[in-house]
Amino acid sequence: MNRRTARTRATACIGNIRAAARRAGVPFAAAIRYAAAMATQLASDAALPVSIEDVRAAQMRIGDKIVRTPTLISQTLSTMTGATVYLKFENQQFTAAYKERGALNTLLQLSDAARAKGVIAASAGNHAQGLAYHANRLGVPATIVMPRNTPVVKVVQTQGHGATVILEGDTFDAAYAHARVLEADCGFTFIHPFDDPRVIAGQGTVALEMLADHPEIDTLIVPIGGGGLISGMATVARAAGRPIEVVGVEAELYPSMYNRINGTDMPCAGDTLAEGIAVKEPGGITSQMVARIVDDIVLVSERALEEAVSLLLQIEKTVVEGAGAAGLAALLAHPERFRGKTVGIVLCGGNIDTRLLANVLLRDLARSGRLARLRLRLQDQPGALFNVMRVFDRERVNIIEIYHQRVFTTLPAKGLITDIECESRDRAHLDRLMTGLREAGYEVSTVELA
């Protein structure tokens, strides 16, 4: 390029920035500073393992072979949180999780020889099903190694998609190690659930769709397990040509990426509702990308996760797993952090055990006062329980179950403890019942949840 051409292009660029600043009502000097910062950022991002071109290529590659899930505003959640809340329903994918995107993008880039030999993965969750489904559809043999304690339903679902399932070891690490041995012995291609540029690029297509549908989104809240989803989505956000904040979310019990980025050493252990993001060691590639292009990581409690799962079912009439609700949990736990922003949340998966879902819903009812267990001290004589029931009848509170304890108690032999499970309209209704029982002379307390 000669000097005259360079000068002409620079003049045109400045003119475009001036016009854009005028349309946006932004001072020209501020627009110039932002353009310079963006140029520096793009030059830095060019060295990352995944680029916006990779994500766009993945979108073209996977095309209509995955569901283009809707991104819809939630008026109720927006009112509750003070943010404008958009939800991306990735739980509507065929296997009920976004993992299909990265798995398919990787499968489509394999050579004919690699496809013929087959692929292998270690997973007890959504990656297993997404890979198995698309491998079967493409005629690629798939082997999935799962820990021996994997729930039967997940084993059956993965086998139902045509994969060979091998149960090995009692932990994911043991299953992973065995999968790498089989990779070497059998010539399979190992497809990592998150630490692979092809997988990351595929997951990034979630953000391409969200921002195409609603370009007004200025904040993305993304669950972090190994980091594949947030790495891909942050790549898209950085290339949007305007500031978009990317905030990651981890369960308090598994702050692995938070530890890696912030140099902390919090333990990663425990039974979390968000088992889909319960990762003890994030990826090397994803850690590099998160450190460079993700703005913040927040942690959420188990209670916040439970509340989010329950709210999404009640308000949006959609079923999500714990990891899928992590974005909303962050919004509920840190309302001041997101108030006034236009937030995009990914409901990244909907594979939750039905019994676990029932427990979550019942616990939420108990915390809101609509379901309670009351403990009363009574005399073991005729009519004692009848008189208690009269108070319940007067306050119009429904009784579900009654439990008597006469033996394992410190009360005298003529005394007993009675637990009564009941339904009320709300906390105020329950409080009126307890007041009525005390006014009738009964000792009453609630059996609280942890």
- Residue-wise pLDDT for 199-252, tens only, equals 999 999 999 999 999 999 999 999 999 999 999 999 999 999 999 999 999 999
pLDDT at 173: 80
162 and 255 co-located in one domain: no
Could you tell me how many residues make up the chain? 450
Q: Dump pLDDT digits (tens) for 333-342.
A: 999 999 999 9
70 and 88 co-located in one domain: yes
The string of DSSP codes covering 186-210 is H-PEE--SSSSHHHHHHHHHHHHHH
Query: Which one of 187, 212, 241 terminates a domain?
Result: 187
Q: How confident is the model at residue 153 (pLDDT cuts 50, 70, 90)?
A: confident
202 and 313 co-located in one domain: yes
The count of domains in the chain is 4
Q: How confident is the model at residue 415 (pLDDT cuts 50, 70, 90)?
A: low
Q: Dump pLDDT digits (tens) for 50-92.
A: 999 999 999 999 999 999 999 999 999 999 999 999 999 999 9
Residue 1 has pLDDT above 80, yes or no: no
pLDDT at 97: 95
206 and 177 co-located in one domain: no
CATH number at residue 318: 3.40.50.1100
> What whole-number distance in Å separates Cα of residue 415 and Cα of residue 411?
6
Identify which has the larger pLDDT, 44 or 235: 235
DSSP state, 110? S
pLDDT at 192: 95
pLDDT at 17: 59
pTM: 0.82
Residue 117 has pLDDT above 90, yes or no: yes
Query: Which one of 155, 187, 219 terminates a domain?
Result: 187
The string of DSSP codes covering 374-397 is EEEEEESSTTHHHHHHHHHHHHT-
375 and 329 co-located in one domain: no
Least confident of 24-33, 127-136, 179-188, 197-206: 24-33
Residue 5 has pLDDT above 60, yes or no: no
Q: Dump pLDDT digits (tens) for 238-287.
A: 999 999 999 999 999 999 999 999 999 999 999 999 988 988 999 999 99
Query: Which one of 304, 333, 362 terminates a domain?
Result: 362
Residue 288 in domain: yes
Task: For residue 222, give the nearest of 238, 245, 242 by alpha carbon.
Answer: 245
172: exposed, middle or buried (Cβ count in 10 Å: 0-12, 13-18, 19+): buried
* Alpha helices by DSSP H, 25-111: 28-45, 52-62, 75-81, 99-107
CATH number at residue 435: 3.30.70.260
Residue 61 in domain: yes
Q: What is the largest CA-CA distance in the chain?
A: 105
Residue 394 has pLDDT above 90, yes or no: yes
**Which amino acid, one-letter code, is at 214?**
H
Residue 243 in domain: yes
Instruction: Write down the mean pLDDT value for the chain.
Output: 89
pLDDT at 414: 55
pLDDT at 30: 58
354 and 373 co-located in one domain: no
pLDDT at 28: 63
Scored b (16 or more CB within 10 A) or e, 381-399 reads: eeeebeebeebbeebebee
Residue 31 in domain: yes
Residue 192 in domain: no
Residues pairing with 87 in the sheet: 72, 345
Cβ neighbours around 411 below 10 Å, total: 14
Domain holding 214, by residue range, is 52-96+198-362
153 and 235 co-located in one domain: no
Residue 371 has pLDDT above 80, yes or no: yes
203 and 289 co-located in one domain: yes
Identify which has the larger pLDDT, 409 or 382: 382
> What whole-number distance in Å separates Cα of residue 235 and Cα of residue 246?
10
Residue 112 in domain: no
pLDDT at 223: 97
Residue 107 in domain: no
Identify which has the larger pLDDT, 320 or 172: 320
Asked if residue 125 lies in contact with residue 154, where contact means CB atoms within 8 angstroms, the answer is yes
56 and 33 co-located in one domain: no
Average pLDDT value for residue range 9-27: 62
Identify which has the larger pLDDT, 126 or 27: 126
Task: For residue 391, give the nearest of 336, 437, 340 by alpha carbon.
Answer: 437
210 and 173 co-located in one domain: no
pLDDT at 405: 73
210 and 281 co-located in one domain: yes
Residue 114 in domain: no
Identify which has the larger pLDDT, 7 or 178: 178
pLDDT at 82: 96
Q: How confident is the model at residue 149 (pLDDT cuts 50, 70, 90)?
A: confident
Residue 46 has pLDDT above 70, yes or no: no
383 and 356 co-located in one domain: no
Average pLDDT value for residue range 33-47: 56
Establish how many alpha carbons lie within 13 A of residue 168's alpha carbon, considering only the half-sphere containing its beta carbon: 19
Residue 45 has pLDDT above 60, yes or no: no
* Phi-psi map region of 282: left, alpha, beta (phi>0 left; psi -120 to 50 alpha): beta
Q: How confident is the model at residue 412 (pLDDT cuts 50, 70, 90)?
A: low
61: exposed, middle or buried (Cβ count in 10 Å: 0-12, 13-18, 19+): middle
pLDDT at 212: 97
In the structure encoding, which two tokens stand for residue 265, read together? Answer: 């050493």
